[in-house]
Structure 1
């Protein structure tokens, strides 16, 4: 699939997803999500409705990117970064140009993305609705953050 075809497919599945969600057709929405997921090789075969699958997806998307690369989590005004191979959630700062302070390389405002923050019943992070959690990976929006070690 060339770049134009991939773009058109993503657009088509996004329209289907939004349409299905707007009328509450859960099965159709899930089918569109899976179609979007299939277009991202990094997410192939992962269960984005499980904590381990979501974490593996985030790591796969962030792995190999320059330090400070972050997925935007617009649903909760947050960011998702990779720190020493671990997925970490950050709040978005009011001033986007501000740096995040770190202690021993870990962001002071960072929140580890672990099982204890995953709602197994809803199948998403405790601060999310299920669709929003999956959208962070299926429809990634990117930014870059800076880290400054506190001495």
Structure 2
């Protein structure tokens, strides 16, 4: 018998209102998870977040805000790179705290730092693809956007966005035909989840980070020659 212990976060939406008690909710969840045909049993237990860790995190946040005010007053935040680093740190603290409202505000602030993507809705297919194109539009030929969500790269060729899997890139070289990567494909709306506001089976946060904290790499084209 194999026993695997995992920690997950679960959101329960109940049209009929909240459960009568926490115990009744756990009973319901246990019945749902154990209603299966694969002979696996699930035991639930409540895990309370460690208060000391949370308190320490908010002390870090307070310290950050104090330093941020000093940097702002000194004019240091006029430096684009420093401002970007400060905004990334603010977002990281908000995510560690699990504060949804702060996360949304921090992501919005980070997005506004990049005029190219400031007006795009990164939670939609058109907005995500449009932002990726905008980030690559002014880059020199041979520039790719590292796409950690798909374990690959994004390139813009003749106005079209292509996704290249990492296995198709060897020694920073990409095989092309008529200038288009051979093993690439166009991001398709059929694999975008409107419900999760991200690519299917991918973490929405990671999807947005590809654009909010872009990493660019150089590549060379290796054009196929006709025999």
Shorter-chain TM band: 0.7 to 0.9
TM-score by length of 2: 0.60
Q: 1:14 aligns with which of 85, 88, 94?
A: 88
Q: 2:180 aligns with which of 79, 90, 106?
A: 106
Number of residue pairs the alignment of both structures matches: 151
Residues 127 and 84 of structure 1, relative CA distance in 2, 3 Å threshold: farther
Q: Which residue of 2 aligns with 1:141?
A: 215
Distance 1:69 1:146 in 2: 9
What is the SS of the residue equivalent to 1:112? coil
Q: Which residue of 1 aligns with 2:36?
A: none
Q: Which runs of 4+ in 1 moved over 6 A?
A: none
Distance 2:180 2:201 in 1: 22
Uncovered stretches (5+) of structure 1, i.e. residues with no partner: none
What is the SS of the residue equivalent to 1:147? strand
What is the SS of the residue equivalent to 2:196? coil
Residues 118 and 143 of structure 1, relative CA distance in 2, 3 Å threshold: same
Distance 1:2 1:56 in 2: 32
Measure how far apart 1:61 and its partner are.
0.8
Distance 2:201 2:216 in 1: 20
Uncovered stretches (5+) of structure 2, i.e. residues with no partner: 1-74
Task: Mark the structure with the bigger radius of gyration.
Answer: 2
* Alpha-carbon RMSD: 2.2
Whether the 8 Å contact between 1:89 and 1:110 is mirrored in structure 2 is yes
TM-score by length of 1: 0.88
Residues 120 and 95 of structure 1, relative CA distance in 2, 3 Å threshold: closer
Distance 2:169 2:187 in 1: 24
Q: Which residue of 1 aligns with 2:103?
A: 29
Measure how far apart 1:131 and its partner are.
0.9
What is the SS of the residue equivalent to 2:79? helix
Q: Which residue of 2 aligns with 1:130?
A: 204
- 109-118 or 41-50: bigger deviation: 109-118
Whether the 8 Å contact between 1:76 and 1:127 is mirrored in structure 2 is no
